[in-house]
Amino acid sequence: MSYIVPIGPYHPSLEEPVHARLITEGEYIKDAKIFIGYNHRGIEKLAMERNYIQTTTLVERVCGICSHSHALAFVMACEEIAGVKPPKRSEYINVIISELERIHSHILWVGVALHNIGHDSLFMKSWDDREKIMDMLELLTGNRVNYGMAMFGGVRKDITADKAEQVLKGLEEYEEDLKTLTDFIMNDKTVALRTKGVGVLTTEDALRIGAIGPHARASNVAVDVRKDAPYLVYGDLEFNVCTYPTCDVFSRVVVRLLECFESIKIIRQAFRDMPKGQINLGFKIPVIKPGESMKRHEAPRGQLSYFVVANGTDKPLRVSIHVPTFKNAPTVPTMLKGNTVADAGLIVASIDPCFSCMDR
């Protein structure tokens, strides 16, 4: 006999409001539907009423975890319309902040996943490691959540040699912590029982539905904007696109951990190759000539796109934001089928959703 079991829109294992309607037979899920739209904040409308500097601050509030990604994608689009080329040093600094943010986001998600399966000792270990990355971000930017670094024509703050040395030394210690955490997770029986074979999204389904970011890479799809359409200085840096073939929740954990090691590699190269010079073109409120641009950035959750339309004033005519969760959410019903109701919360969380981003 079939039953409908609702998960959400408010549920202990979901960090943000989303509603999953599960069609079950016994404890197994036969079909599922996802309903979104509980958190609309009108940010795109607000962006039409503020100047470009105010809008940079506004879009950074779309998400508290990938705030730099939003500000960076917006200013890159504005710079392309204006025909402005920011200083090379600022591009390296933006890469460093972006990759520290990626590590922070991935380790935060790993902790949430471990908490969902009831492994609170590893949850506390991962979030203790995450705190060290947040300390580095605070050292470089002065902030722990919304960093306020990206701006039209460059970045707001430089990185001194002393701060660079502190971060590089901190990353050496952090890399050892990350190896320990990865070893624990890869060999822990509880993690294996709750994640292996759970929430499978095959490579074919990932391509058919259009998954992006680490979620797609965990289904063995090698997509990454940093490689596919290099921007900033990513084309000059060596790193691997991490994939994993098991296509389940365990695969999503592993991919995010592997990407943290690649981010450390990128940060070290960026510090090594970063040229001296100015970091921005000044702090005047820009007036941007009429035009439009769409810029993509590989945010921690996947491809983030900003479409900006300028009309020759100091305010954007239109700011359209396309976030990774909007692309990955349609994969959830496919992943839920055949699994138990007990795993539903973990499977929804395995895409690393940000419904706050999606319902901007």
Q: What is the pLDDT of residues 260-299, one digit of tens each?
A: 999 999 999 999 999 999 999 988 889 999 999 999 999 9
Place of tokens 């999204």: 201
pLDDT of residue 13: 66
* Distance, CA of 76 to CA of 327 (rounded, Å): 22
pLDDT on residue 353: 86
Give the amino acid at 270.
Answer: A
Domain that holds residue 266: 41-358
CA distance 30 to 41: 34
Give the C-alpha separation, 318 to 45, whole Å. Answer: 8
Give the position of tokens 């200013």.
75
- Determine, yes or no, domain membership for 8: no
Share of the chain above pLDDT 90, in %: 76
Residue at 113 is within a domain? yes
Q: Is 341 contained in some domain?
A: yes
What's the whole-number mean pLDDT along residues 60-64?
A: 90
| Higher per-residue pLDDT: 37 or 125 | 125
Dihedral sign, Cα of residue 7, residue 10, residue 13, residue 18: positive
Give residue 130's pLDDT. Answer: 92
Mean pLDDT of 155-177: 95
State the average pLDDT for the chain. Answer: 92
Q: Is residue 32 part of a domain?
A: no
Q: Using an 8 Å Cβ cutoff, are 234 and 190 in contact?
A: no
Task: State residue 1's pLDDT score.
Answer: 64
Give residue-wise pLDDT tens across range 16-30: 788 888 889 888 999
12: in domain = no
- Candidates 319, 281, 298; CA nearest to 78 is 319
This prediction's pTM: 0.94
CATH code for the domain of 63: 1.10.645.10
Q: Is 321:62 a contact under the CB 8 Å cutoff?
A: yes
Model pLDDT, residue 360: 75
Q: Answer yes or no: is 320 within a domain.
A: yes
Query: Structure tokens of 118?
Result: 């009831």
Q: What pLDDT score was predicted for residue 133?
A: 95
38 has pLDDT over 90: no
pLDDT single digits (tens) 204-225: 999 999 999 999 999 999 999 9
Residue 14 pLDDT > 80: no
Count of CB atoms within 10 A of residue 56's CB? Answer: 22
Q: Please give the radius of gyration of the chain, using alpha carbons only, rounded to the nearest integer.
A: 20
Number of domains in the chain: 1
For 162-193, b where at least 16 C-beta lie within 10 A, e where not — what string? eebeebeeebeebeeebeebbebbeebeebee
pLDDT(155) > 90: yes
Other C-beta atoms lying within 10 Å of the C-beta of residue 1 = 5
Dihedrals phi, psi of 339, to nearest 5 degrees: -95, 170
Is position 196 within any domain? yes
- The C-alpha atoms of residue 61 and residue 11 are separated, in whole angstroms, by 24
**Considering the domain boundaries, does residue 179 fall inside one?**
yes
pLDDT at 308 over 80: yes
pLDDT given at position 6: 83
